[in-house]
């Protein structure tokens, strides 16, 4: 599968997260509106957990079956570019230890993130159902007006800080569906780019005298984000190239993606086949995400 096909499959998994997330919200709202018995609430919770288990299985399958294909597509993309160089033999398939390890780390990391997410949804749902149960007991002694308010308060709380919010390792707050989408999309780029870098390093090891394997180019899709300033530009992995700047001067490096949800990928740039490539405007060297975000915001407001 090529990058577009893989992204479509990622999009389907993201949609599945959104669907389950909405299903849980609706189910909980239904429970709040109808004041179910303890037994009914218990079976509702079981349904929610079953749905989350299915989602978890799908996330597992995607992480271990589809995500690695981003890596393999990067390997074959490097091989295909290099195939046109007459002096070099293409490395081809051969899943060596380096690749196996890279894939294992990436798939474990994505699946762990997604599983944490479903686990969190499940715990939140349980807590909301339990608290709502308590509210139902109290309701018998409160007036109709405050009943209505309590329901509204519960629903507001549900949307504001119930199953909807999730705090990541960097303490940033995400809504559950945005978080899973971000994790899936960002990790697909990281594993792809690592595939490009690792394959090029294999060629460098095999052909240390050949200087064609030191450059990468940033892909293009006419991004409206600041990362668009980097589209099509060429960078040196060793940092020793006479024209092209070191990859270390890219924003967010050594993290191999500009920002969460970024679509850009690293492509091989074979100098002998492509000639002189584009060099980034020097004002975009050594920038941080924070100051690029700020500059971009002011330019576009």
Segment 245-264, which members bind Zn ion (CB under 5 A)? 258, 262
Segment 28-67, which members bind Zn ion (CB under 5 A)? none
Distance separating alpha carbons of residues 222 and 229, to the nearest angstrom = 9
227 lies in the site for Zn ion, by CB under 5 A: yes
Minimum Å gap between C-beta 189 and Zn ion is 9
Among the listed ranges 5-13, 128-136, 198-206, 226-234, the one in contact with Zn ion (CB under 5 A) is 226-234
Minimum Å gap between C-beta 226 and Zn ion is 8
Length of the chain measured in residues = 301
Q: Which is nearer to Zn ion, 186 or 212 (CB)?
A: 186
Minimum Å gap between C-beta 3 and Zn ion is 15
182 lies in the site for Zn ion, by CB under 5 A: no
225 lies in the site for Zn ion, by CB under 5 A: yes
Q: Which is nearer to Zn ion, 88 or 262 (CB)?
A: 262
289 lies in the site for Zn ion, by CB under 5 A: no
115 lies in the site for Zn ion, by CB under 5 A: no
| Residue ranges that bind Zn ion, judged by CB under 5 A | 225, 227, 258, 262
């Amino acid at each position: 599968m090529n990058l577009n096909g893989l992204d479509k499959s990622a999009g389907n998994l993201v949609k599945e997260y959104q669907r389950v997330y909405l299903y849980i919200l609706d189910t909980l709202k239904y429970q709040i509106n109808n004041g179910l018995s303890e037994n009914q609430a218990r079976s509702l919770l079981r349904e929610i957990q079953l749905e989350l288990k299915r989602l978890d299985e799908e996330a597992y399958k995607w992480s271990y079956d589809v995500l690695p294909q981003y890596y393999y597509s990067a390997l074959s993309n490097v091989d295909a570019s290099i195939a046109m160089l007459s002096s070099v033999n293409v490395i081809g398939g051969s899943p060596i230890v380096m690749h196996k390890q890279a894939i294992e780390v990436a798939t474990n990391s994505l699946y762990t993130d997604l599983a944490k997410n479903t686990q969190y949804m499940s715990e939140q749902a349980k807590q909301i159902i339990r608290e709502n149960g308590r509210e139902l007991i109290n309701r018998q002694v409160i007036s109709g007006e405050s009943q209505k308010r309590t329901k509204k308060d519960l629903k507001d709380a549900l949307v504001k800080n119930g199953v909807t919010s999730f705090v990541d390792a960097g303490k940033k707050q995400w809504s559950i569906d945005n978080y899973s989408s971000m994790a899936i999309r960002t990790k697909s780029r990281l594993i792809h780019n690592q595939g490009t870098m690792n394959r090029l390093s294999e060629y460098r090891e095999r052909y240390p005298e050949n200087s064609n394997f030191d450059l990468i180019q940033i892909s293009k899709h006419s991004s409206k984000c600041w990362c668009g300033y980097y589209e099509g530009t060429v960078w040196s992995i060793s940092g020793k190239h006479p024209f092209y700047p070191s990859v270390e001067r890219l924003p967010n490096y050594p993290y191999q993606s500009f920002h969460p949800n970024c679509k850009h990928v690293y492509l091989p740039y074979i100098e002998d086949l492509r000639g002189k490539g584009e060099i980034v405007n020097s004002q975009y060297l050594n920038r941080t995400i924070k100051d690029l975000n700020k500059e971009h915001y002011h330019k576009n407001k």
